[in-house]
Amino acid sequence: MKVIDAFIDGLMRIKRAPWLGIGLWLTTFLIALPLAGLLLDQIQASLGASLAAREAASGVNYDWWNEFLAQTSGVGATFVPAIIGFAAVIKNLSTFADVGAVPTVILGAVVTNMVVSLFLIGGVIDRLARDRAVGASAFFSACGTFVGRFLRLGVIAAAVYWALFGPYHRWLFDDVYKALTAEVTVERTAFFIRVGLYIAFAIPLLFFNMLFDYAKIRAVVEDRRSMIGAIAASWRFIRRQPIAAWALYAINALLFLVVIGFYYLAAPGGSANLSAFAIGQLYIVLRVIVRLQFAASQTALFQGRLAHAGYVARPIPKWPDSPAAEAIGPR
């Protein structure tokens, strides 16, 4: 299977599984909603019956905003101008790349989302690999089947990511960057040095990300129980077809950039109200699709190269009859 075919096949599989996208979007929505409710209370209390609320409702009341930030804590402290429009994306990517501090309450939401994603990802890959409707019970059965395995995989992944985002990042950006720029008198040079270090950070990060992606795919498609074995199998797959694996990853990354670009053009400013929220949700849906596309296209590539489309070793699980059936059925 060609890379481009895997890419297109991935998109088609997502199209044929709309509930996956809806479900993942709903996950982010439901995790974010309670915290948004907390913030709503804080903002409402801060503005009270003040006339300042009118400007805040119709546009950006930066004076009030600064007063709010000076008095608030917790969720409220994350309510900064960078949440407006495309700045939100820039801020989050910058936080990710620079390993910026995330407040505890937000970290809780992030971890919750990761745990939920870890639970769902087995069912998601299973559904994308089968490329046909399996029903909710089979989907969640697959989720349940793989969550234990992916927790084990997650421990290994967490250790790797900790090493990358912890000591490796600190070494790059605290030690190497400072040493390389100590005598630099041209800001542009310092920036390009930083870009070089971002690349040095991204290469192992993307490699391990891809390695764990294919490990999950092989675990689901081939019904692997050993996660170390799945990682080894993933490594063999990538090693045998590095160009295809990296090219597909790059095309998917390009799709991510296209989505980002769309939001850059479409994101409304601070005056917009519900339209901004609607466009924001559309953008989140597109981000969900990109995320699914990584899984779907990589699954398609793997099945196209080592198995066949729609192949999974594990049969579709069927729920047994309810115990109540014994009472009403023939003895």
User: Which residues in the 233-272 window bind other proteins by CB under 8 A?
Assistant: 269-271
Dihedral class, residue 135 (left if φ above 0, else alpha if ψ from -120 to 50, else beta): left
- List Cα–Cα distances, 76 to 4, 58, 268, in angstroms: 45, 20, 22
Nearest Cα to Cα of residue 75 among 49, 53, 115, 108: 108
d(CA 62, CA 41): 19
- Token pair, residue 187, equals 């800001």
Minimum distance from residue 311 beta carbon to other proteins (Å) = 24
Window contacting other proteins (CB under 8 A); options: 242-250, 285-293, 303-311, 318-326:
285-293
Q: Which is nearer to other proteins, 168 or 311 (CB)?
A: 168
| Rounded Cα–Cα distance for residues 102 and 141 (Å) | 34
Q: Contact with other proteins (CB under 8 A): which of 54, 236, 240, 318?
A: 54
Q: Is 163 in the site for other proteins (CB under 8 A)?
A: no
Interface with other proteins (CB under 8 A), residue from 19, 132, 191, 228: 191
* Smallest distance from other proteins to CB 206, Å: 10
Q: Binding marks (x or -) toward other proteins, 116..145, rule CB under 8 A? A: -xx--x------------------------
Record the tokens describing residue 232, joined without a space. Answer: 């080894």
Assess 175 for contact with other proteins (CB under 8 A).
no
Stretch that binds other proteins, among 2-10, 40-48, 244-252, 313-321 (CB under 8 A): 40-48
Joined tokens for residue 82: 């960078």
92/241 with CB nearer other proteins:
92
Q: Which is nearer to other proteins, 66 or 137 (CB)?
A: 66
Which of 304, 329, 306 lies closest to 12 in space, CA to CA? Answer: 304
How many chain residues bind other proteins (CB under 8 A)?
Answer: 92
Q: Which of 4/184 has CB closer to other proteins? A: 184
Q: List binders of other proteins among 82-111 (CB under 8 A).
A: 82-84, 87-98, 102, 106, 109-110
**For other proteins, the closer CB: 264 or 311:** 264
The sign of the CA dihedral 222, 224, 227, 232 is negative
Amino acid at the residue 37: G
Contacts of 38 (CB under 8 A, 6+ apart): 74, 75
Stretch that binds other proteins, among 11-19, 224-232, 275-283, 311-319 (CB under 8 A): 275-283
